[in-house]
Amino acid sequence: MEAKKIRSICCIGAGYVGGPTMAVIAQKCPHINVHVVDINPQRIADWNSDNLDELPIYEPGLSEVVKDARGRNLFFSTDISKGIAEAEMIFISVNTPTKTYGVGKGMAADLKYVELCARQIANEATEDKIVVEKSTLPVRTAESIKTILEANTTGVNFEVLSNPEFLAEGTAVQDLHNPDRVLIGGDQDESGLAAIESLTEVYANWVPREQIVQTRLWSSELSKLTANAFLAQRISSINSVSALCEKTGADVDEIARAIGSDSRIGPKFLKASVGFGGSCFQKDILNLVYLCHHFGLPEVADYWEQVVKINDYQKKRFAKQIIDSLFNTVSGKKIAMLGWAFKKDTNDTRESAAIYVAGELIQDLAEVHVYDPKVTEQQMINDLVYAGFGTEEEVSKLLFVYGNAYDATNNAHAVSIITEWDEFKELDWKKIYNQMFKPAFLFDGRNILDRKKINEIGFDLRSIGKGL
Ligand code: NAD
Ligand code: UGA
pLDDT in tens, 228-270: 999 999 999 999 999 999 999 999 999 999 999 999 999 999 9
The percent of residues in the chain predicted with pLDDT above 90, rounded, is 97
The pLDDT tens digits of the residues spanning 192-202 come to: 999 999 999 99
The percent of residues in the chain predicted with pLDDT above 70, rounded, is 100
Alpha-carbon distance values, 457 to 73, 113, 295, 416, 463 (Å): 55, 53, 57, 16, 16
pLDDT-based confidence at 54, cuts 50/70/90?
A: confident
pLDDT-based confidence at 297, cuts 50/70/90?
A: very high
Which phi and psi (to 5°) does residue 358 adopt?
-60, -40
pLDDT-based confidence at 417, cuts 50/70/90?
A: very high
pTM of the full structure: 0.97
Listed residue (398, 295, 273) closest to 342, CA to CA: 273
Residues with CB under 6 A from ligand 2: 136, 165-169, 228, 231, 235, 269-271, 273, 276-278, 280-281, 342-343
Nearest ligand for residue 355 CA: 2
3-state helix, strand, coil in the chain (%, to 5): 45, 15, 40
Nearest ligand for residue 447 CA: 2
Q: What is the pLDDT of residue 153?
A: 63
The pLDDT tens digits of the residues spanning 262-275 come to: 999 999 999 999 99
Q: Are 419 and 339 in contact (CB under 8 A)?
A: yes
The pLDDT tens digits of the residues spanning 143-190 come to: 999 999 998 767 899 999 999 999 999 999 999 999 999 999 999 999
Buried b (16+ CB within 10 A) or exposed e, 82-99: ebbeebbbbbbbbbbebb
Nearest protein CA to atom 37 of ligand 2, as residue: 269
The C-alpha angle with vertex 178 and arms to 64 and 352, in degrees rounded to 5, equals 75
pLDDT-based confidence at 468, cuts 50/70/90?
A: confident
Q: What is the pLDDT of residue 75?
A: 98
Rounded distance from Cα 343 to ligand 2 centre (Å): 8
Q: What is the pLDDT of residue 451?
A: 95
Average pLDDT, the chain: 97
Alpha-carbon distance values, 311 to 6, 105, 235, 329 (Å): 43, 20, 8, 24
Q: What single DSSP character describes residue 5?
A: P
